[in-house]
Amino acid sequence: MSKKVVIIDYQLGNLFSVYQACLNEGIEAKTSSEKKTVEEADALILPGVGAFGDAMLSLKKYDLIEPIRDFAASGRPLFGICLGLQLLFSESEEFGSFKGLDLVKGTVKKFPTSSKNRGKVLVPQIAWNQIQEKKSWKTSPLQNLKNGEFMYFVHSYYVCPDTTAEILSQTSYADVTYCSSISKNNIFATQFHPEKSAKEGLKIYKNWIEKI
Amino acid sequence: MSNIRIIPRLDIKGPNLVKGIHLEGLRVLGKPEHFAKFYYENGADELIFQDVVASLYERNSLQDIISRTAREIFIPLTVGGGIRTLEDIRSVLRAGADKVSINTAAIKNPGFILEASRKFGSSTIVIAMECIRQEDGKYLVYTDNGREYTGIEATVWAKQAEEMGAGELLLTSVDKEGTGSGFDAVLTKTIADLVNIPVIAHGGAGSSDDVFNIIRDSGVDAVSIASVLHYQFIKGNKGGGDFSQEGNVSFLNSGKDFGKIKSCSLQQIKEQLLKNGIPTRN
């Protein structure tokens, strides 16, 4: 029987391409904002575009915070994308301070808007950028990617895990070398958009789906 | 500097990919789906689809093309032309676009940028600026494919759009568009220096040298190109299929060459950039 992959729809961001990327790898995912559907999923995708605070408020509104935390604790695969990576962290400094899902210890910080060497820095970063292997990719969804592969990024904030143990890849922008993907037990998450990163990005979906 | 994005632009009229000069005099070049897929497979960093008659007829016929294209293309897609309401944005995003580009509706009501960026996130909202140089050297923005005078200075509008929450500016020189005589470096540098959001230079590329020159001279981190790439594709693919449905196809049927345009591939453009120390995905 095919696995139930659920894409959490909490009204932030465009889920079309995430859905299409799953479909491209043979999985017809379900998009849902229902607690019960989330609880019953075999694997969960937490996407997201926009503001951290709004996203947490929206997850709260749909009563999804505890179900996602419980899901993560159950050991089933959880995949966070972009804002969905940031939400896994303890807190964000975006417009004051917001508590996150606290599944990974650490904070979310904003890029500086100027750089010592290069002057003006554009924020958000809207660009293809390279991911560099930090801990081994061998058993992760990045396993058959080239070290230094280009992925598509759109973000103003980046994550800072308290320990380096979770960091899968790092990326440099605006004089900052930051964590661009993590893995922690059953949790995998990327700051970049694999579903917008052409064929190399689709490989990540394929690898993740194969392990469900 | 970010890695430079090279963004093929597909102007759409009805079911066809078209190309004009100064945004007018449209020639049919083929089926947009074929071009889009080809560019995706050959290293395009994003794609822009522009319905070039939507504003005029108050319609947007792009949705079918987008929903078919988005199923097999996994890079960011920006869709523009005739987007007037939050509901228009929502339906284009639902069809598979990642960003929308807005001109006329934003100029008529700048508050629309604010509403749209709050609702969908700044990075979803691209403001398209169609600029024409005036006799006194100032640049003014126009609407409806460079037809309608607004009297608004490009510099003033760029700043206002940024403040209202635009995520990027798609900057078109109508004077240069379709001519193949190179980008307007003065306009592009002026706007790129002024704002802290990405500026996409568009209008005038006639060769890969032009692309390299505008990046070097203006500091933009994205460039949108049409003719140079389209003509290269046509040479290799004879238009990519059935295109006789609608519009002016005499150019395609004539077998004429492309005037000033020195066509080349995405790969050739990127190789030239890399060779000259300009970073880009390859």
Mean pLDDT, residues B82-95 taken together: 90
Q: Would you say residue B170 lies in a domain?
A: yes
Residue A133 clears pLDDT 60, i.e. is over it: yes
Gap from B95 CA to chain A (nearest CA, Å): 8
Across chain B, mean pLDDT equals 90
Chain A residues touching B74 at Cβ < 8 A: 17, 20-21, 24, 195-199, 201-202
Question: If pLDDT is split at 50, 70 and 90, which confidence band does A121 have?
Answer: confident
Q: What is the CA radius of gyration of chain B?
A: 17
Question: If pLDDT is split at 50, 70 and 90, which confidence band does B20 have?
Answer: confident
Gap from A206 CA to chain B (nearest CA, Å): 14
Q: Would you say residue B74 lies in a domain?
A: yes
Omega before residue A124 within 30° of 0, cis: yes
Q: Would you say residue B106 lies in a domain?
A: yes
Neighbouring C-beta atoms of residue B217, cutoff 10 Å: 15
Question: What is the rounded distance in angstroms from the CA atom of residue B228 to the CA atom of residue A176?
Answer: 36
Domains and CATH numbers, chain A: 5-210 (3.40.50.880)
Q: Among residues of chain A, what percentage have pLDDT more than 90?
A: 81
Mean pLDDT, residues A144-159 taken together: 96
Q: Would you say residue B70 lies in a domain?
A: yes
What is the DSSP secondary-structure string of A27-51?
A: ---EEE--HHHHHH-SEEEE---S-
Catalytic (active site) residue B11: yes
Summarised one tens digit per residue, pLDDT across range A172-182 is 998 899 999 99
Task: Give the CATH number, domain containing residue B112.
Answer: 3.20.20.70
Q: Would you say residue B282 lies in a domain?
A: no
* Percent helix, percent strand, percent coil in chain B, to nearest 5: 40, 25, 35
Q: Would you say residue B280 lies in a domain?
A: no
Chain B residues touching A24 at Cβ < 8 A: 72, 74
Question: If pLDDT is split at 50, 70 and 90, which confidence band does A118 have?
Answer: low
Across chain A, mean pLDDT equals 93
Poorest-pLDDT segment among B90-99, B214-223, B273-282 = B90-99
Mean pLDDT, residues B56-85 taken together: 84
Nearest-by-Cβ selection for B221 from A122, A152, A154: A122
* Residues of A with a known catalytic role: 82, 193, 195
- B140, B157, B182 from B150: Cα distances, Å: 7, 11, 25
Nearest-by-Cβ selection for A128 from B45, B122, B168: B45
DSSP assigned state of B122: G
Question: What is the rounded distance in angstroms from the CA atom of residue A86 to the CA atom of residue A104?
Answer: 9
pLDDT given at position B120:
86
The domain in which residue B53 lies consists of: 5-275
Question: What is the rounded distance in angstroms from the CA atom of residue B234 to the CA atom of residue B17?
Answer: 12
Give chain B's domain count: 1
Residue B244 clears pLDDT 60, i.e. is over it: no
Residue of B219, B188, B193 whose CA lies nearest to B205: B188
Coil, strand or helix: which one is A13? coil
Inter-chain touch B96–A20, beta carbons under 8 Å? yes
What chain B residue is nearest to A150 in terms of C-alpha separation?
A: B281
Query: What are the residues of chain B with a beta carbon less than 8 Å away from any beta carbon of chain A?
Result: 1-3, 5, 40, 45, 70-72, 74-76, 93-98, 120-124, 167-168, 196-198, 221, 280-282
Q: Would you say residue B175 lies in a domain?
A: yes
Token look-up 């999923």 returns A41
Residue of B51, B130, B162, B168 with catalytic role? B130
